Amino acid sequence: MIDVQKILFGKDDTPGIVAVEVSDFQATVFIRREDSISKSVEPFAPWLVVEDKSAVSSEMCTELEGDGYRYLIKFPGWETFDSVRSGLRTNRVSHYSYSSPEKQFLLSTGKTLFKGMAFDDVRRMQIDIETSSLSSESGRILLIAVSDNRGFEEVLDGSEEEMLSNLVAVINERNPDVLEGHNFFGFDLPFIASRAKKRGILLAIGRDGSEPTFGTVRNCPVGGYSKPYTPAHVYGRHIIDTLLAVQRFDVSAGRLERHGLKECAQVFGLAEPERVYIPGDQIAELFGKDPDKVKLYARHDIRETAKLAELVCPAEFYLAQMVPDTYESVATTGTGEKINSILIREYLSCLRSIPLQQHARGVIGGYTELRKTGLIRNVVKCDVESLYPSLMLSYGIKPSTDSLDIFLPILAELTKRRIEAKSKFKTGPESEKEYWNGLQGSFKILINSFYGYLGAPFNFNDFNAAEQITTTGQRIVKQIAEEIEHEGGEVIEIDTDGVYFRAPAGVDNREAEESMIEGISSHLPAGINLVHDGRYEAMISLKIKNYVLVCYDGKKIFRGSSLRSRADEVFGREFISQAVDLLLADDTDGVSKLYYDIAEKIREGLLPVEQFARRERVTAKTFNSSQKKRMAAVAQGAKVGDYITVYEKNNGELGLIEDYAHDEDRRYLEEKLHKFALRLREALGDDFDRLFAAPGSRAAIAKRAEAAGQQTLELF
């Protein structure tokens, strides 16, 4: 009988492991018991698996059952393993293993971190610095704010030598398991390390008295893209960067336009009522005049970091109880790799071979269709609960290489546990809500990745299975649309697992909507459950996956890059936001007036630079691509990963916002305004060209002349 508990969490039940550090042939395991830390030393044998055992000369070889990587080779120490693996790579011999010795140890022993612990049981310390500049070469540390989740909070001041020495003392005395900071990898920790080196301070903050070490640039998956960062390691402790964590957290919600600490705290309601705000470029000057105000500012920073971590980190923390990896790695790797690790752990434990990846090929995706655009009232959304996981469980769709038949039992167990955790979150005592919410969040992350795993480059991938899921999903969502129309509803948009529709006559309250959806659900295959997923006073439908929803309480939800993009200039975002309000009020002439008012401000140079400057990220291509010459010219002195704010100059170059000299390219801005207006074309239909004349057109010239009371004018 399959023991799903051990498959999910590993066969070793040791509770309270908060860190693992591996040397050449042994592992040091750190265990927390309330306020005390103990450690034990265990043997460690690095390993890899190969198809052909003749490729590796080793007496420690175990033949595994099955095809693929069917020989498990173990080594007396990491140095030997690393040498052999390097040779296999050089000779292009197919093999599989992990470059992290900690992950290898956890996977082979069945241990995982934090078993039996809640998020607040580990000791978490937050660190934030205030500096005189962004450069650790020319700048210095003004203050170091430190707090932990045991009530400690202090702002360290004095000379840099004193602050850095005190920071080392505080970390070693408070003995945190986790160090947290916002942009900690990108700024605070490397700045601290650099200044400590310059001042001759041994930054001995590791549990063995060692200093932090820094690795090479890696990519942290954030939704559909990757965020480069430089990892750091502190012996015996984990480093969590809340900047990366909040970006991953916000992927589905999309509430944040920027991810700075202050912006996050404001959007999520974490800022204190009397929160002190100081522009970054004014901190050094104000520190000389009013150091107490800067200290209070630093305290507020550190409190917001702690609250943000409490919001965005628990799901990854609880995943570390299942995934054989360090907390820091779990928080910066994709969910497909997490599933792969769990599967490989069980297969090696059962002495089964590890399958080779299937070669990539295209897979038919989910069904999307836009049937109606414009302003639509009385909108309802119905959604199939966890469509793809439900299809996998209902139709028994799994990888063909899963000879142990554990893929679907794991998915079923995660689904069951999530339902239980969600129920306890809703009905349990207030003191336990954070625990259950974090736990259900970790289950959700894995559940939603099982389909994606099948079509990605992992050992148990299966493109035929992935396609069976999507094609079955297409049939079901089309059936739902037909049922809605049969009931008198008007379908607006179909998107993979949900349908937006205008409710039919007489269906004008939530109870009636739910009754209608429940009736449609009863006609669907067993195991597929259609639910009410939202009701809206209005919807402005523009393009597929691009729309505005207006809730009955007046709240507006923007979806799609044509309506909200972090790359858009402020004036464009504000134009669209105000235009939406006017469209909802059926005031199309008001939208036109708004457009021409902004155009006039652009022409007269009355638009502040903050309105039309845009934030650009410096990447490797900035300096290497011939198409990025303009960016490279203004990015001198910046490093990859930094952000700079630029605007279009009238000489065709880019300018930095701090060098603005009323030399913007106004023609470019007029054209950009018209492009913003074009995003609303579907909402206005045939009236669009009448309401928004393109720059330089006859209609634009006439419109401007009419406004100015003149007969002739220069081009718009």
SS3 for 204-217, per residue?
CCCCCCCCCEECCC
How much is the average pLDDT of 472-493?
Answer: 96
State residue 609's pLDDT score.
94
Cα–Cα distance, 714 to 708 (Å, whole number): 12
Does residue 639 lie within any of the structural domains?
yes
Cβ partners under 8 Å of residue 598, min gap 6:
571, 575, 607, 673
pLDDT-derived band at 255 (thresholds 50, 70, 90) equals confident
CATH number at residue 167: 3.30.420.10
Cα–Cα distance, 490 to 92 (Å, whole number): 58
Check whether residue 528 and residue 575 sit in a common domain.
no
Check whether residue 298 and residue 376 sit in a common domain.
no
Domain of residue 373 covers 368-398+462-559
**Residues found in the chain:** 716
Check whether residue 554 and residue 585 sit in a common domain.
no
Q: Among 513, 528, 559, where does a domain finish? A: 559
Please determine, for residue 2, whether its predicted confidence score (pLDDT) is greater than 90: no
Please determine, for residue 207, whether its predicted confidence score (pLDDT) is greater than 60: yes
Q: Among 115, 139, 158, where does a domain finish? A: 115
Please determine, for residue 619, whether its predicted confidence score (pLDDT) is greater than 90: no
Burial of 466 from C-beta contacts in 10 A (0-12 / 13-18 / 19+): buried
Check whether residue 107 and residue 123 sit in a common domain.
no
State residue 716's pLDDT score.
38
Find the radius of gyration of the CA atoms of the chain.
Answer: 29
* Spatial contact of 418 and 443, defined as CB atoms under 8 Å apart: yes
How much is the average pLDDT of 152-175?
Answer: 97
* Spatial contact of 393 and 527, defined as CB atoms under 8 Å apart: yes
How much is the average pLDDT of 475-484?
Answer: 97
Q: Among 501, 531, 559, where does a domain finish? A: 559
Check whether residue 153 and residue 269 sit in a common domain.
yes
Check whether residue 296 and residue 207 sit in a common domain.
yes
Please determine, for residue 167, whether its predicted confidence score (pLDDT) is greater than 80: yes
State residue 624's pLDDT score.
82
Write the DSSP string, 378-426. Answer: EEEEEEETTHHHHHHHHHT---TT-TT--HHHHHHHHHHHHHHHHHHHH
Long-range contacts for 90-94 (Cβ within 8 Å, ≥24 apart)?
91/55, 93/50, 93/52, 93/55, 94/50, 94/51, 94/69, 94/356
Does residue 91 lie within any of the structural domains?
yes
The residue behind tokens 């930095």 is: 656
Check whether residue 683 and residue 655 sit in a common domain.
yes
Least-confidence region, from 268-272, 501-505, 640-644: 640-644
b/e map of 64-100 (b: 16 or more CB within 10 Å)?
beeebbbbbbebeebeebeebbeebeeeebebbbbee
**Closest among 226, 128, 218 to 182, alpha carbons compared:** 128
Check whether residue 586 and residue 478 sit in a common domain.
no
pLDDT averaged over every residue in the chain:
92
State residue 712's pLDDT score.
40
State residue 616's pLDDT score.
87
Write the DSSP string, 474-498. Answer: HHHHHHHHHHHHHTT-EEEEEETTE
| Domain count for the chain | 4
Check whether residue 585 and residue 493 sit in a common domain.
no
Write the DSSP string, 64-75. Answer: PBSSSB-EEEE-
State residue 702's pLDDT score.
59
Cα–Cα distance, 181 to 335 (Å, whole number): 23
How much is the average pLDDT of 678-682?
Answer: 92
State residue 713's pLDDT score.
40
